[in-house]
Structure 1
Amino acid sequence: MSFLTSLSGLKAAQSDLAVVSNNIANGSSTGFKKSRAQFGDLFAASPTQNTAKIAGQGVQLQGIKQQFTQGTLESTDRTLDLAVAGEGFFIVKSPNTTGSISYTRNGAFSVNNNREVVDSTGNIVQLLPVDANGDLSSNNPADMTNLVLPQTDPSDPNAVLANVSVANNGNIIATYSNGNQQALGSLAMASFVAVEGLRPIGDAHWQATGASGLAELAQAGTGQLGTVRSGSLETANIDMTEELVSLIAAQRNFQANAQAIETANKMTQTIVNLQV
């Protein structure tokens, strides 16, 4: 019994080590959110047994929980480098035929050869329409459109795009060489009732699940959504000192359980030799 108990401890320590190692490995990943392994004890007894005389049966992994705390915002001076100061996610859409939607905190956006604003994996940033006052006119997912930078002023084909700015509320403003300005829309931002239920798919992207609930779309800076900071990127929410301490703790836990298995093995051998 003690062998199986310590073996469960070894597996738990290995899982903990894997989670901490993944956190450390992604210390430089933009928009990455750290995780923590959560464990629970194993105990079994029949209704007639006196539980005061029964030892536990080890430990089990209950789950790996993501922690969506705010990372540090670092200045980059690139207009299309965007960060969320507070809660919320940028919404991006796959360029392939499936058009799958995902959510990200990695705002390192750029322009492709089709003048679409895309993230590091090629997904296209999504916009929601705004009215003449710059307020969101619809938060219906069906009204989302791809963020495409115009080449010329729609009212003056001779005036080329001179500059693009992003306001704190996510509004995208295009300025042309003739001085005219055009509101392209507002960045589609999403929040979730149970953000820990999001399914990670890599590259600081997540997908909605039944556990997270449906995405609630709104304009940045409204409700529980944070504001958008242009010219900044959010670093991973990793405290390297804290992770190294957790790494040492997981290593010691592993060593202690390994020692317990070795001790149990020696005791079993001693008992067998006495019986012989």
Structure 2
Amino acid sequence: MSFYTSLSGLKGAQTDLSVISNNVANVGTVGFKKSRTEFGDLISSAPLQASGSIAGQGTRLKGIDQQFTQGAAESTDRTLDLMISGQGFFVTRGGVTGGQTAFTRNGSFNVNADRYVVNSTGGYLQVLPVDEVGKVTATGIDSSRPLQLPLTTGQPKSTTKLDLSVTLPSSAGLPASNPKFDVDNPYVFDRLDPDTYNQSTATTVYDAQGNALPATIYFTRTSLPDAVTGESSWDARLFVGNQEVDSNRLDGTSGPLELRFDSNGVMIVPDGEVSFGNVDTPLELDIKFGATTRQANAPFTRTSLSQDGFSAGKLDNVSVGSDGLVIATFSNGSTQPLGKLLLANFANPGGLRQLGDARWSVSGESGEAIVGEANSDGFGAIQSGSLERANVDITEELVALISAQRNFSANAKAIETANNMNQTIVNLRT
């Protein structure tokens, strides 16, 4: 019987060596979780046999348990290198519309030819849908979808507001008093004739399709300071491309916008935003002359000019927040939430079925997946630009390897000793 007792010890030590060797071999595998062998002793006894006279019959393998402890972080500075700091698994699927669902701690992801984010085995990283402000709109693993990066562009936005501040020279004359204009050749505004206006400033605005359009504002002095009030006025004309855009005046008429200044050069009209637009122009917008717009004894100066439109832009950057929200940034300065990483956890992670490449699938022992968002409900935070190394302590494994080797040698020695004893008995002579 001692042969089989020692044989069970040999098999146990051999299994222990295999598990330890596998741990050591995967010390460089991202997201790998080490395993540990669990053994139990074998006892066989009759009901009336005294407990003090029972000899064990060897050992048996109770199981190989996976150890889901946190691995060390390795900084990579790649946005799509992701690490879960805490509990949880990334969720991947074998295809765009379905396929095998797998769970992994390996956060090394790349972009395939169709702009989907995938891992090294081709699994599609799953995210939850979000609205325009990044709020999750549907939950559950059935609501998830593969993360796809926009091909080239975001959404364009037409210009609706234009903020402008200028300094107009108080010494400017009336273009109408130019000797060039007389009874036979009266004054008429012509944007192609610099003698018909005093100053101009230009910018770029955008229509609903994101097309860039040149916009120019021409300033024409229409009255000199009044002898009593000291007030003076200017006309501001807006052209988008070659088309003049009329202002909608308070009196219901349309045409150039009147700018009126008091004796100190402070603008008193208009006192807020003015709407510009007509049927023939590709957009309507509001122009607001800022508080720093004034008339002074100084050259014409454009103090500030801004507008809120932009064209469609190319993908410039992708970021992943600690809460798993994936945001795309475009060259035009706009941003777009793409989804929120779906994380999963299990009542018994050690019961997961290993698939290789640091991937697991659900089993009866693990229980169903519990899904949620990063940084909430017991799930860990996402670290972008980092990877989780294997949780293998190489020093600890080498010591365990020596111990397993000694166990194997000791059991082999026990078999040799039992064999010698049997041989001695066989050789006895009467």
TM class, shorter-chain normalised?
A: over 0.9
- Once the two structures are superposed, residues 111-156 of structure 1 have per-residue CA deviations (whole angstroms, 9 ceiling, x without a partner) of 0101010001111100102345534332221111010000233423
- 2:48 maps to 48
| Structure 1 stretch displaced more, 171-180 or 49-58 | 49-58
Work out whether 1:246 is the aligned partner of 2:400.
Answer: yes
Q: Could you tell me which residue of structure 1 aligns to residue 95 of structure 2?
A: 95
Aligned length: 276
* 1:196 equivalenced with 2:350 (yes/no): yes
Larger Rg: 2
Partner in structure 2 of residue 31 of structure 1:
31
Instruction: Check whether the contact 2:71–2:390 (CA below 8 A) recurs between aligned residues.
Output: yes
Q: Please say if 1:262 is aligned against 2:416.
A: yes
User: Which runs of at least 4 in structure 1 moved beyond 3 Å after TM superposition?
Assistant: none
State how far apart, in whole Å, the 2-side matches of 1:171 and 1:264 are.
65
Stretch deviating more after TM superposition (237-246 or 157-166) = 157-166
| Greater share of residues in helix | 1
Q: Bigger CA drift: 81-90 or 95-104?
A: 95-104
Q: Residue 96 and residue 45 in structure 1: after superposition, are their counterparts in 2 closer, same or farther (change >3 A)?
A: farther
Change (3 A) 1:80 1:98: closer
Q: TM-score, normalised by structure 1?
A: 0.97
Distance 2:346 2:335 in 1: 33
**Aligned pair in 2 of structure 1 residues 138, 206: CA closer, same or farther (>3 Å)?**
same
Q: Give, in angstroms, the shift of residue 97 of structure 1.
A: 7.7
Q: Which residue identity is paired with 1:268?
A: N
Q: Is 1:210 aligned to residue 364 of structure 2?
A: yes
Task: Tell me, yes or no, if structure 1 residue 116 matches structure 2 residue 116.
Answer: yes
Secondary structure of 1:259 counterpart? helix
Q: 2:154 touches 2:315 (CA, 8 Å); kept in 1?
A: no
Match of 1:179 in 2: 333
Partners of 1:221 and 1:256 in 2: CA distance? 50
Show CA shifts across 1:166-218 (max 9, x none): 00000000111111111011011101111111111100000011111111111
Deviates more, 1:241-250 or 1:175-184: 175-184
2:140 — aligned with what?
140
More divergent stretch after superposition (219-228 vs 125-134): 125-134
* Structure 2 length-normalised TM: 0.63
* Aligned Cα root-mean-square deviation (Å): 1.4
- With over 3 angstroms needed to count, the CA separation of the structure-2 counterparts of 1:96 and 1:131, relative to structure 1, is closer
1:164 match: secondary structure: strand
Unaligned residue ranges in structure 1 (runs of 5+): none
CA distance in 2 between counterparts of 1:98 and 1:224 reads 27
- Secondary structure of the structure 1 residue equivalent to 2:78: coil
Q: CA separation in 2, counterparts of 1:68 and 1:133?
A: 35
Q: CA deviation at 1:26?
A: 0.2
Q: Is the 8 A contact 1:136 1:219 kept in 2?
A: no
Residue 398 of structure 2 aligns to a residue whose secondary structure is helix
SS across alignment from 1:266: helix
Q: Distance in 2 between matches of 1:145 and 1:275?
A: 82
Letter of the 1:8 counterpart: S
